[in-house]
Amino acid sequence: MKDEQMQSLGDQTIDVLKNIFDPEIPVDIYQLGLIYDVQVSEDADIHILMTLTSPNCPVAESMPEEVKQRVASLPDAKEVEVEITFDPPWTKDMMSEEARLELGML
C-alpha cells in the first residue's frame, strides 16, 4: 500500500470515528479526545489506541467492539485492532475546542 493510500485509509478511519458517539455525552469519540492514535500499516491493517471516559464506563465492553466493527467495514481495511488504555487517563482537557463549545464548557 502506498503512502497516499495509507493516508487516505487513515482519513477514512477518522471519518468513521467522528460518527461514533459516547452515549452519555452528545459528542463523537474523536472530538471527545478518546482516540489517542490511529496507525495504518502497509498491509492496510488498522490499529486504534483509545481510552474511555472512565474505567467504569458503561460502554467499556461495547464501545471498542463498535469501533472495531465500524472501522472494519471500510472497503480497504484488512485487520482492525482496538487497544484500550488508561495511560494517560482521559480528562476534559483532551476534548477539542468544538466539543467543549458544544457542551457549554467555553
Q: Could you read off the pLDDT of 3-18 as tens digits, one per residue?
A: 899 899 999 999 999 9
Residue type at 58?
P
Is 3-91 a domain of CATH 3.30.300.130? yes
Q: Specify the pTM.
A: 0.93
Position 105 pLDDT exceeds 90: no
d(CA 98, CA 41): 30
Q: Where are the domains of the chain?
A: 3-91
Our measurement of the distance from residue 58's CA atom to the centroid of its chain's CA atoms, rounded to an integer in Å, reads: 17
Residue 80: name the closest of 28, 13, 29, 19 by CA.
13
Q: Could you read off the pLDDT of 23-49 as tens digits, one per residue?
A: 878 899 999 999 999 999 999 999 999
